[in-house]
A and B are shown apart, each in its own frame.
Chain A
Amino acid sequence: MSNNSIKWFFGTFFGSVFNSIVTVLSALIFLFLINNIIGFISTAEWEVVTVNRRLLLIGRMPAEHEWRIWSILWITSFLIFSSINSWGSPSKRNLLFISFITLIICLIFTTSSTILYVVISLVICIVSYTVSYFIYKSSYQKYSQNSLKTLWILLLPIIFTLLLIGDGPSPNLWGGFLLNIILASIAISFGFPVGIMFALGRASSLPAIKIICTVYIETIRGAPLVAWLLLAWFVLPKFLPTFWGLNEISVVIRAMIILSAFTSAYTAEVIRGGLQSIPKGQIEAADSLNLNYRTKISLIILPQAIRVVIPALISTFIGVFKDTSLVFILALTDLLQVGRIIPEQDPEFFGKALEALCIVAFLFWIVSISLSNLSTKVEKSLGIGSR
């Protein structure tokens, strides 16, 4: 070791008395954590997860409907992997991260009976990735970007058609991680546009509209989500009209309604922050060009407002995704519930609660961390903070 690196070492770790104390304390915390984690991993038995993998992922969905899940997985992986390259090549670090996530997802799904499906999805991933790379270099770049945008918008309808077409399983059979993802995507895709509307309403100069939107947002934000879900469990059916069997809607739909309303209120608050950050000159410029309200909002104000709040928006969406684990109030068996029930009720797996919980937390963590990674990427490509 050269003299310089010794100097650096002592400078960073033992530069002052305070710094030395901090170093020793952090080293102790690290040792404690590593010791406990190694102790846990060496004694843990992961059978509780490997045996119940199906239940954790898709709940009680019957085996004859499995092809729906696989085709959804294929379409989504095609879309994701062709989108990676269609707006510029990813950095090496992002590529590493993406391959890491893909590998983990493949490992999660692989069993002796499903290996064929996993291989097909891997092939789809690689093919769409390489093809989109060449399209991006060619003159068809614009067309592929536009068609991908359309496909992303159509993704949710496609998924629901695939889930429900031809005697699909009833929503009550959705469960496990599938339920979390469905609830989150519904909540976000309905809550976001509604949230924009409420944000505009709250920022409006018309007092009646402003007051009503504010009351809506503050009421929804006033009570915790569990309380709203409990309300959906007890009284929501009594408030729905009696025709078309609307008053006997399934619990999953009720959860979707509440989660969407909840997301819309929180998104509205985030977007309001963006609306406030727009310099007044922009609005005055739009007015002096004699743009009408709709053009002014859709071409001048919203694009700038949303651009500023993308990080906050995505962290709200991550929050919604995490909050889907609260549907235990409605007696739905989402991923966390399955992970809790199995060690409690199956005598084979008594006392394995920590192992199951670890995997559940890991799955939630993977999705959230991918989303926050996406947010930093979008933030960078839009040049927020540097402009």
Chain B
Amino acid sequence: MNLFVNKLYIWSRSQKNRNLFIQFIFIIFVSFFIYYLISKALLLDMTLSHFDSRAGFGISHTFVIDYTSNDSRWVSYFTGVINTIRVCIVAIFFATLLGTIMGVARLSKNILFSTISYLYVEILRNTPLLIQIIFWQIIFLKLPRISEALTFGNTVVISNRGILLPSASPSDNGNIWITIIIITVILSLIVSYIINKKEDLEGKSIKLFNFKFNGNLLSILLFLTITITTYFILQKPFNLDLPSLYQNNKGTFLQSGGFEFTPEFGAILFALVMYTGTFITEIVRGSIQSLSKGQTEAAQALGLSDYQTMTLIVLPQALRSIIPPLTNQYLNLTKNSSLSVVIAYPELFMISRTIMNNAGRALPVFFLILITYLLLSLVISIFMNVINRRVTRIGT
């Protein structure tokens, strides 16, 4: 017995053995906890079989998928996913634009410009996003009623049911033209890659009639000529779709045609752009400030203008330290888009909530939400990592 205690003592003196022991105890505790959770979860129905049955509720915003209430719940869920993706892509684009402009403005010598940026950040960053969403919804609903809608010569109709903009709808040849565009984009990317590579290796650029062509210019010219000629060959692949406002025989106003920018979409878009924009502003400002002052001074010594200094010297270098926190903000934006449940913009969270309310079985639906958001985050992260790799490669 004494020998065993002695051996145990010697065994425990090794750091490696002690680490093993600690991990073993930890795993036992965690697995007990997980076992408890699973045993409770098994009492619930964990299947998603109810997603195959009829959804039975309408969705006000459909995009790409033509959804009706007779479709299955899966279709309604994917309509929500597409709505989320749609609002996120538009919001990410505009938030980046706004944040960059405001971040530069914050450091501007122009007092008026920097004050706007200061007030914008300090006010909007410190109020909850939810309040801002509701605020924009109230603003959109304060637009004139549809009977007194503002019209601008049959092209734009503004009322509290939304803003109608002219759009283009594809005719019979439209799909052919779209495929041609996609093929041309890929083709011109390949052409520009090959020519740029050749230029890098040989140090010579292609000359035609004493005019230098670099790869980017050539591919843009290629793209434009092909798309424009095919547009005329196919004879109007797109029809202009103008919005119209009319009264039916009972006197109620109806609107049709055009691209509809609804108050819900507008409210969630404005709020997300304005709110995320404040954080991007701070990121851009911090990154620019962290650059050494010699860069700006060198640019000024070369005689570059303020605008050129910003776009050619400062921002490209600041981009390196901007992108990692920017990715984080994009992920936050994606998750924050779920708050549009409060103004009934039907994105994936609101539709899953409706399904939970209708059919119960909250836990499997929750896992579906979790996986969807994780996938969206993964896509954004991969995309931003690719950009990050490109950006950090410049000049190294």
Give the B-binding residues of A (Cβ under 8 A).
12-13, 15-16, 18-19, 22-23, 26-27, 29-30, 205-209, 212, 219, 222-227, 230-231, 234-235, 238-239, 318, 322-323, 325-326, 328-329, 336, 340, 353-354, 357, 360-361, 364-365, 368-369, 372
Contact = CB atoms under 8 A, between A and B. Distances in A.
Contacts of B108: 22
B110 A22 contact: yes
Given A23-B110, A357-B131, A318 B126 contact: yes
B138 A357 contact: yes
Interface string B341-358: 110000001000100100
B341 A372 contact: no
A13 B307 contact: no
Given A26-B110, A222-B377, 17 more contacts: A19-B110, A209-B22, A223-B366, A223-B373, A234-B360, A234-B366, A239-B37, A318-B126, A323-B128, A336-B134, A353-B138, A357-B134, A361-B128, A365-B127, A368-B126, A369-B126, A372-B126
B335 A224 contact: yes
19 contacts: A12-B109, A15-B306, A26-B110, A30-B116, A209-B26, A222-B373, A223-B370, A224-B373, A226-B349, A227-B370, A230-B356, A234-B363, A235-B366, A323-B128, A326-B130, A329-B341, A361-B131, A361-B135, A364-B127
Contacts of A30: 112, 116
Interface string B280-307: 0000000000000000000000000111
Given A209-B26, A226-B338, A357-B134, A219 B110 contact: no
A372 B23 CA distance: 40
B383 interface: no
A212 B30 contact: yes
Contact of B113 (A26, A230, A239): A26
A234 B369 CA distance: 14
A372 B158 CA distance: 40
Given A226-B338, A235-B363, A239-B37, A325 B131 contact: yes
Interface string B99-142: 00000000011111101100000110111111100110010000
A227 B367 CA distance: 10
B362 A231 contact: yes
Contacts of B47: none
Nearest to B341: A226
B181 interface: no
Nearest to A321: B128
A384 to B, nearest CB: 14
- Among A30, A224, A234, A336, the one with the most B-chain Cβ atoms within 10 Å of its Cβ is A224
B111 A207 contact: no
Given A230-B366, A372-B126, A207 B116 contact: no
A322 B134 contact: no
A231 B336 contact: no
B390 interface: no
A248 to B, nearest CB: 15
Contacts of A361: 127-128, 131, 135
B362 A234 contact: yes
Given A222-B370, A369-B126, A18 B23 contact: no
B129 A322 contact: yes
B23 A206 contact: yes
Contacts of A230: 353, 356, 362, 366
Nearest to A326: B130
Given A234-B356, A357-B138, A26 B127 contact: no
A340 B134 CA distance: 9
Contacts of B23: 206-209
B44 interface: yes
7 shortest A-B CB distances, which residue pairs?
A234-B362, A368-B126, A224-B335, A208-B23, A322-B128, A224-B338, A26-B112
A223 B369 contact: yes
Nearest to B375: A222
Contacts of A340: 134
Interface string B162-198: 0000000000000000000000000000000000000
Given A364-B128, A369-B122, A238 B26 contact: no
B374 interface: yes
Contacts of B349: 224, 226-227
B305 A16 contact: yes
B43 A231 contact: no
A12 B110 contact: yes
Contacts of B366: 223, 227, 230-231, 234-235
Contacts of B129: 322
